[in-house]
Structure 1
Amino acid sequence: MGYKVVVAGATGNVGREMLNILAEREFPVDEIAALASRKSLGTEVSFGDKTIKTKDLATFDFTGWDIALFAVGSGPTKEYAPKAAAAGCIVIDNSSLYRYDPEIPLIVPEVNADAIHMYKNKNIIANPNCSTAQMVVALKPLHDRAKIKRVVVSTYQSVSGAGKEGMDELWDQTKAVYNPVQEVPPKKFSKQIAFNVIPHIDVFLDSGETKEEWKMVAETKKILDPAIKVTATCVRVPVFVGHSEAINIEFEEPLDWQEAQDILREAPGVMLVDKREAGGYITPIECVGEFATYISRVRQDSTVENGLNLWCVSDNLRKGAALNAVQIAEVLGQRVLKKG
């Protein structure tokens, strides 16, 4: 016996990826519904070897459905997620709306799956920010061994994190570089993204941080440990899919790079690719379509007493969004609903 599953936002990048991953991982689905806004009503999307037509999110009755994966942004989520939850359908939300609510669990299954039972508070579970998700997967096993004091992270985030508009803008601006007659001014981003990098993701806060940087701090503390100090610089780069991060970690206890490699090699959700030679590391283009969070360039930081540096790469549409949501659904199935 399987589950009745809803994917809200099924025509977007993340929604389509949710459908793909549910099929790829053979999640026990008895019935699937793909929801979208009224303007996308009837659009066909793929689920495994099936093609299904989207239904209207605004009029959908969630009664009798088990799990709803939401990928529709904070506005529609605020309107429709509580309705789904009130109808008895457990919502797994990919927006930022519920991430900082103390009554709603913020889950990365490899890190804090035990918090899943908090869903009972509001029948809602939050999915973290894409840049946070891959980082805490890398940090968790190291934190368990040597206790992390401080993290300094610089991100190199792909344009797919800004949705289809971001990907289109990179594509159009790249073509325009080779066609001077055609000019493509920035719309989605604050400056030209083609052949450029932009140290600005989301809005600026009074502190001088961007909200993306603040999210990484707040979410790491909620998911992993509130005592960890985190500072982030988040940068948009001209890569279509795949987020990269240079992470500097300071520990309370000594941890050498060889032991860190051994720990990461066995860690859930992690793939260590770390040879000290040309090409002995993973780049974002190599992680596209993959489930793992890849770790490379593990090395000692001699400027602090107990420090390490590492390079972390993951498909942000997968581990940073759709995959993590499906993994949460899998944990729900194993620990709570127990149908499949």
Structure 2
Amino acid sequence: TKDGVSVAREIELEDKFENMGAQMVKEVASKANDAAGDGTTTATVLAQAIITEGLKAVAAGMNPMDLKRGIDKAVTAAVEELKALSVPCSDSKAIAQVGTISANSDETVGKLIAEAMDKVGKEGVITVEDGTGLEDELDVVEGMQFDRGYLSPYFINKPETGAVELESPFILLADKKISNIREMLPVLEAVAKAGKPLVIIAEDVEGEALATLVVNTMRGIVKVAAVKAPGFGDRRKAMLQDIATLTGGTVISEEIGMELEKATLEDLGQAKRVVINKDTTTIIDGVGEEAAIQGRVAQIRKQIEEATSDYDREKLQERVAKLAGGVAVIKVGAATEVEMKEKKARVDDALHATRAAVEEGVVAGGGVA
């Protein structure tokens, strides 16, 4: 591997004093990797130059604090200059080139990343996973997908795929457990009159309510499918609100004084299609207004900026992707585990470099800029 941070992680010196310096430079490479995902070799070379020249200045009698302030000012000036030099990177060809160079000139990786970005947009989530074969693959999930499946296999209407597929359904979102069918009757009757299927996404649907929905579906009175809402606690409330924004519906929540019995068709969301299998639910082409979706995305972005933990940040970014684009998974193929590890690191690097290029543009590489 030629990846700076991968090489640095393996370095451990016997001399404790020397090792202290090595650990400091490793920290530089690691921080660069966390912030940008690539550029670790450059960061290491710059760190060496700053230390070498800085020590010369201190040895010649310069005040270390003045030196640090000077370095800070120089960094700010250099960053501004680089921003001025940068060229935007927006078309698919340029994206593929950046990915190719970052992946040690592997063109297939560059093309895969460009294709993934085309499919899910610049905001979409792109993840890298171990593949099962020798070839690299790209899997794309369009629309919003969450990890909850049907609550009863009796809802399945496509036995060949073991899935529930509903065309142009109404979507009922409830932030509560539904166990009494009586409170659902007005909505069910309205949906049956409209002649459309219904998807129920609630904290849970159980007992008599679930049994009645199954019977109605099997008799063909009204096509229904029920799933649990994704997440737990506050995150579940937020995700239900995301789905409501995407589908143009309202979350029926007793916290804001809404009762399920009084829900009307206007409170229900709608989508072009909903596919539910054993473990996942995918909502395709929700009818929510673009302005409302963008507003919701901007709101979550603000939370990302203020998030203190990496876990929260990651979950919030997933929510942005589900609202804004979709999710793409690059499955890395290799012959051995060692090759897989090295290739996966390269693809990760290439992905980060490409994201940075799309966000901030590119400058001439190889230290020229």
TM-score of the superposition, structure 1-length normalised?
0.27
| Structure showing greater Rg | 2
Whose strand fraction is larger, Structure 1's or Structure 2's?
A: 1
Choose between structure 1 and 2 for higher RCO, CA contacts under 8 A separated by at least 6 residues: 2
TM-score of the superposition, structure 2-length normalised?
0.25
